[in-house]
Chain A
Amino acid sequence: MSLLEVKNLKKIYTTRFGGNQVQALSNVSFSVEKGEYVAIMGESGSGKTTLLNILASLDKPSSGEVLLEGKSLNTIKESEISAFRRNNLGFVFQDFNLLDTFSLQDNIFLPLVLSGKQYDEMKGRLQKIAAKLGISDLLNKYPYEVSGGQKQRAAVARALITNPLLILADEPTGALDSRATDSLLKLFTELNEEGQTILMVTHSTKAASHAKRVLFIKDGEVYHQLYRAGMSKEDMFAKISDTLTMIATGSARGGDLHE
């Protein structure tokens, strides 16, 4: 059984006054196995964000369903959805989404506090994760006192501390400089090697080239996918680059690649 299964996802937005309908996702299906590292790429307006919102159970699809460990997100009651999200999914955002009113430690504790965990347990979990992410010395600092890369590490720690089935990352390198980007991507790879399943939405070819598989979305559909298999990062980078060019220029050969 796949960890995450997305079946015939369709999302239609109706404009506020009811007139026009906008189809954000027309028919998206894919699945993610346990331990995979998947990147989703696509241009602005391709439906990436809509897809991610539905996966994060922040939004509901018009039709189709999302199964996490075989359980459909549609069947979860409204009152349980937050707890579900908290316990099964970890989020990493482009703009970190850390709260300035909390120290990094308290930011990381936030999902656990919401789940009603005891301090000692939280502390125990944090120590391991903080050591792994190299932020042990920064825990008492506030978000506005540390660099972007350090903030993103804290955000990753917050995502990891609930031991989620799946990490959803939305343009995690979007606000980072190249050094911080490299080290974050290295971190993701390490986490993945330890068995953490990661689903990342990104614009960046470099970020995507670290993933084991890349899905390309165009006009609300999965247009193409690439497996890294034995490829080196450089080859993967070139391959992604080619695909993107092809998608952008709408090459006639596009149809051939379609699986």
Chain B
Amino acid sequence: MNSSLYAKLAATNIRKNAKNYVPYILTCLITIMMFYMMCFLAKNTALRTMSGGDSLIMILGLGTVVIGIFAVIFLFYTNSFLIKRRKKEIGLYNILGMEKKHIAKVLAFESFYVAVLSISLGLSFGILLSKLMVLALGKMLSFKISFGFEISGSAVVTTLILFAAIFVLLLLNNLRQIHLANPIELLRGKQVGEKEPKTKWILALIGLVCLSGGYYISITTKSPLDAIGLFFIAVILVIIGTYCVFTAGSIAVLKVLRKNKRYYYKVNHFISVSGMIYRMKQNAVGLANICILSTMVLVMISSTVSLYIGFEDSLKAMYPWEIQVTGYDITKDEGETIEEVIKEITDSHQLEQKEIVTYRYMYQMAKQEGNQFLMTDADTYVYNDGAVLYMISLEDYNRLLGETNTLKPDEVFVYYTNNKLTDDTISFGKENYHIKAMANASEVNLVFSPDMVETYYIILPDKDAFAKINHELGNVTEDINRIQYFYGFNTDAPSEKQLAVFEDILALRRQADVEPFQSLRIQSSEYMRSEFLFLYGGLFFLGIFLGTLFLMATVLIMYYKQISEGNDDRERFEIMQKVGMSQEEVKKTIHSQVLMVFFLPIVAAAIHIAFAFNVITKLLAIFNLTNIALFATCTLVTLGVFIVFYALVYTLTARTYYRIVKQ
């Protein structure tokens, strides 16, 4: 036989097996498309330059890794289904006189065709859809930045390498199975694999440990910055845990149930439990896939939706005033000039300044050891023991609150955000102060931009104290340790007017020969709104988009599961009917069994999400979303919608399954 014959035979095989091959190629295609698009976004340079782009890139990078892992497992799963259905055919070839090496050649050609077809189509669709997606995203959010209508070369290469490797591995796995089997086994291929699975206690234990480790991390994570790094570890642990628990844990639990005679010997339990022990062997991976996919879909959609909905809150938290002016080393006179000039501008727009606030503060990063704050370099900022100190003079404090508090030269007021100080002495390097009063920052109307690490507001008695503390905590960079001037106000004017005022102030800064104006930082919450919308809207879009894709994968897995299970179960139910089980009971049992298989992953996903809730709220805090109630609502609503969709697929599937079994 020459090789063109193998090639032809392989092509004919694919055509003849279209019923099995088309969904398989489609699966490969969609997976490749998904991976390319995720990779494309993760490597996108435009995203990186956006404000908050780094975290986004990191999340997308995590997404790429997860899709990569998912692709390997998912393709192995669908491939095993395919090869199982084709064993009979391959056995026939063997019996008709083809040697195994000939069969191997045919299979290699088949894999080659499938690989070329699905990779080329997957990449084309990926490129096409990534453009479409960017176009749609641009239209939805009216981009100012060109999001890059580009083909990412490195994403193409990554996709090619990964999937070429996967296809080679799949081929090797198929060859291994065929090589090990004799023709008779191949002919009966579909019937083998019915041996009772062993209980793997160690694997089940590993699963539990990983799962509880992941849960523990996500529950105990306190600061948003920890969350970024730990979230990844927790996700990996939970994924490993889910696979182990589904594969080994489920069988262990079912076997324990079987040991309980009172429970086991009841009509429903009897048939479901025994059936499930066998089903789990083939389906555990599929169910774990569904569970992880569902969790991802739910987390992604609920968090991006709540970011999108809550973006007004985030904006308000970041920019409490409509117009904010900040600058360093502004003297009292300069401050008054700034306020006067800006007042003139608002007056010229017939607007009234409301809720005007002016104060000066010093911003310090420090290493915290109990009640002691020490000099630090900027990198320490990200670690657990880093803290942020806002220092305000008593004078400004009293003016802001309209109170008349007093402090002795060695006394301070302290406001904390999360962690109370334990002692009544606070020290900055070698400088010690007595804490006259301490309260939670939420009890006082001090508005600063929220920080991701522990933040303290310190009310200092006089200028001397500022100088001393500045000296002790060091000059990290010049900007940071200087006294900062803040001036903010609201106008309650419509958006265009606010922007007009903002433009005028900016223009003034460009022209003014008055010294302080040139170094001022001027911010407008209205101006930032579009940037926020862009970022959060982009994430929202991405969440919905990927959510939909993952949902498609879930449906595909269901399709395979139902076909293979229905065919396997048909014989069993036939026997049971002969032995005296009624149609009604068969129907009931089928429903309870399908129900169990269907809702096991979704229940597990719900548990994952309940545990992940804490760490996700911390991650959302990076995006300045602190409205936990909103996120909780979004999560519940997403879960609800998902369950409704899932129940729909379930009823359809149960019907199909019943039809297959009844044949």
Contact = CB atoms under 8 A, between A and B. Distances in A.
Contacts of A98: 575
A100 B266 CA distance: 19
A186 to B, nearest CB: 25
Contact of B572 (A58, A91, A99): A99
Contact of A82 (B194, B195, B266, B585): B585
B269 to A, nearest CB: 9
A32 B274 CA distance: 38
A144 interface: yes
B575 A113 contact: no
A140 B274 CA distance: 14
B584 A79 contact: yes
Contacts of B274: 99, 101-102, 106
Interface stretch (A14-22, A114-122, A173-181, A213-221): A114-122
B261 interface: yes
A161 B345 CA distance: 99
B52 interface: no
A110 B195 contact: no
A93 interface: yes
B629 interface: no
Interface string B437-460: 000000000000000000000000
B261 A119 contact: yes
A125 to B, nearest CB: 13
Interface in B169-211: 194-196
A114 B579 contact: yes
Given A101-B274, A101-B277, A82 B578 contact: no
Interface residues of B, number: 25
Contacts of A109: 265, 270
A114 B580 contact: yes
A86 B581 CA distance: 8
A101 B572 contact: yes
A97 B267 CA distance: 19
Contacts of B270: 106, 109-110, 113
Interface in A6-45: none
Contacts of A158: 579
Contact of B579 (A81, A97, A117): A97
Nearest to B582: A82
Interface in B245-266: 261-262, 265-266
B128 interface: no
Contacts of B266: 113, 116
A233 interface: no
Nearest to A91: B578
B647 interface: no
A113 to B, nearest CB: 5
A239 interface: no
Contact of B262 (A85, A117, A119, A144): A119
B275 interface: yes
B576 interface: yes
A58 B575 CA distance: 12
A142 interface: yes
Nearest to A96: B575
A101 B278 contact: yes
Contacts of A114: 267, 579-581, 585
B426 to A, nearest CB: 69
Contact of A113 (B267, B275, B278, B582): B267
A58 B579 CA distance: 11
Contacts of A93: 578
A100 B579 CA distance: 15
A97 B575 contact: yes
A99 B570 CA distance: 12
A109 B577 CA distance: 15
Given A100-B194, A144-B195, A113 B265 contact: yes
Q: Is the interface of B mostly helix, strand, loop or mixed?
A: helix
Contacts of B267: 113-114, 116
A101 B251 CA distance: 13
Contacts of B262: 119
Contacts of A91: 578-579
A61 interface: no
Contacts of B572: 99, 101
A56 B266 CA distance: 25
Contacts of A117: 265
A58 B262 CA distance: 31
A111 interface: yes
Nearest to B191: A100
Interface in B563-589: 572, 575-585
Contacts of B275: 101
A146 interface: no
B278 A110 contact: no
A110 B579 contact: yes
A246 interface: no
A83 interface: yes
B394 to A, nearest CB: 79
A56 B580 CA distance: 10
B166 to A, nearest CB: 33
A53 to B, nearest CB: 10
B582 A144 contact: no
B580 A86 contact: yes
Contacts of A86: 579-580
B571 to A, nearest CB: 9
A93 B577 CA distance: 13
Contacts of B265: 109, 113, 117-119, 122
Nearest to A106: B274
B274 to A, nearest CB: 5
Contact of A85 (B194, B278, B580, B584): B580
Interface string A111-139: 10110111100100000000000000000
Contacts of A85: 580
A142 to B, nearest CB: 6
A87 B582 CA distance: 13
B576 A110 contact: yes
A92 B275 CA distance: 23
A1 to B, nearest CB: 25
Contacts of A119: 261-262, 265
A37 to B, nearest CB: 22
Nearest to A82: B582
A106 B266 CA distance: 12
A98 B274 CA distance: 13
A99 B589 CA distance: 16
B280 to A, nearest CB: 11
Nearest to A112: B265
Nearest to B569: A101
Contacts of A106: 270, 274
B535 to A, nearest CB: 54
Nearest to B583: A82
B575 to A, nearest CB: 4
Contacts of B195: 144
A79 B196 CA distance: 34
Interface in B267-292: 267, 270, 274-275, 277-278
Contact of B578 (A83, A97, A100, A116): A97
Contacts of A144: 194-195
A83 B575 CA distance: 15
6 contacts: A82-B582, A97-B575, A101-B278, A109-B270, A114-B581, A114-B585
Given A86-B580, A110-B579, 4 more contacts: A79-B584, A106-B274, A109-B265, A158-B579
